[in-house]
Amino acid sequence: MSFRGLLLGLFVVPVVVGGYFLTQAATADGTPQCDGIIEEYGDQERSGPMKPGETCDLYDFADGRSAGTRTYEQQRKAQDADAGRDYWTGGLWLAYGVAGLTVVTAHLGLKRRRA
């Protein structure tokens, strides 16, 4: 593998990561998702999309403890904040990768023309 191929490969990775974050943020719908447990009427429990008026128990499955609760509105706001953070993160990764690819291809292209 040539040095040019290695550099191009190293800058393709941030482009892919940035694209992943941007598609995650763009495809997130507005329905709050509870990754913990939603306690319904009676003894029924479920995970997944929430309905207005429900409370999500943010259960930490790794250590078996509750990490708090969130209402429907709190979960929606938290997911909106996560989507905004994903847009910024994805944009930065993508910009870094594209800038790197541009510099590598332009720099190596100039050297080739001189020779």
The encoded tokens of residue 70 equal 């969130």
Residue 112 has pLDDT above 90, yes or no: no
Considering the chain, what is the average pLDDT of its residues?
84
Are the C-beta atoms of 8 and 85 separated by less than 8 Å? no
Reported confidence tier of residue 16, pLDDT bands at 50, 70, 90: very high
Q: pLDDT for 45-65, tens place per residue?
A: 777 888 888 888 887 777 777
Rounded Cα–Cα distance for residues 11 and 94 (Å): 9
Provide mean pLDDT across the span 79-93. 94
Would residue 65 be called left, alpha or beta, if left means φ above 0 and alpha means ψ between -120 and 50 degrees? Answer: beta
Residue 42 has pLDDT above 80, yes or no: no
